[in-house]
Amino acid sequence: MYSLVQKSLLLCDPEWSHDFSISYLNKTQHSWLKNTYAQSLVKKPIECMGLTFDNPIGLAAGLDKNAECIDAFAAMGFGFVEVGTTTPKPQSGNPKPRLFRLPEYRSIINRMGFNNKGVDYLVKQVKASQYQGKLGINIGKNKDTPEENALDDYLICMQKVYEHASYITINISSPNTPGLRNLQYGDSLIALLSGLKAAQTELHSATGKYVPLAVKIAPDNDEAALKEIASALIQTEMDGVIATNTTLDREPVANHKHAGEAGGLSGAVLTNKSLDVTKTLSEALAGKLPIIGVGGISCEEDAKLRYEAGATLLQVYSSFIYSGPKLIKELVNA
């Protein structure tokens, strides 16, 4: 049944299909209809960032931006679920159309622009969830917040989600919010991460709960930039790094009708680029903090190569859209 519905949705407008799917999962996750997508997987516990995950395959941020379907994704067998990106204030995102499928490449281009209902709504959904597994909450800044005030937005989100998150992801790598990727470099990166580390220390002291901080980076950084980022992550004592977000590179899909669309490209065409970033980061970090690998992980071989490159956990998104829950089972079993 899931396969038939999925094939039908892939024939419809991408964003309509996404909204329909989120609505269906939200309405069915606590009913018998969840059996249309639920599956039982053998637990394969793994330690990362001081946490124990049920298995190493997680859902990447971006699919469940408002944390409305946590229990549904848990039922599919994900070892952990990451929701968001959320921002301090609700925002509608970029004008439509802003989501494009490239099925020949099993890839997607999106320029959604952090469309979400705001951090207060997300926290309300998380509190209503029955999920007992590891939950990542991905935070960002509002589009209208000046770059120099970005830390304020991240702090607002961090303070509101802290007690509800297993770990918090700092998203500074989406290509769809103007100026966001500038936060990945030099003094801007050090200042942002230092401010967040200080807040983490205060919140840990106040709550007695230590919530790890992971930083999500772009795949479009060269080797020198990646080494500089790695140094900053170590210096500011971050707990993990997620590699990678979507790419602006269009060379792999140059002949496709959607190649000229602005936004981030994800999916199978990102496999090698994300793999190379993982290798470079692993060497630069020298085991001082773990890597969560994401980007173009579509099969057992992709997962194997990402582990060999230095990743501890993996996440999927675009490949999950094309393959469905069976991908989770295949990767976990492998």
Residues designated catalytic: 174
* C-alpha distances out from residue 297 to 168, 201, 217, 245, Å: 22, 34, 17, 13
The H-or-E segment that residue 47 falls in is strand 46-48
Tokens describing residue 72: 């549904």
Q: Do the Cβ atoms of 66 and 121 come closer than 8 Å?
A: yes
CA 203 to chain centre: 23
Length of the chain counted residue by residue:
334
CA dihedral 210, 211, 212, 218 (to 10 degrees): -160
* DSSP-derived pairing of the beta strands 46-48 and 51-53: antiparallel
Per-residue three-class SS string for 192-228: HHHHHHHHHHHHHHHHCCCCCEEEEECCCCCHHHHHH
Please enumerate in sequence order all residues whose Cβ is within 8 A of that of 200, keeping only pairs 6 or more positions apart, or say none: 158, 210, 211, 213
Q: Do the Cβ atoms of 166 and 254 come closer than 8 Å?
A: no
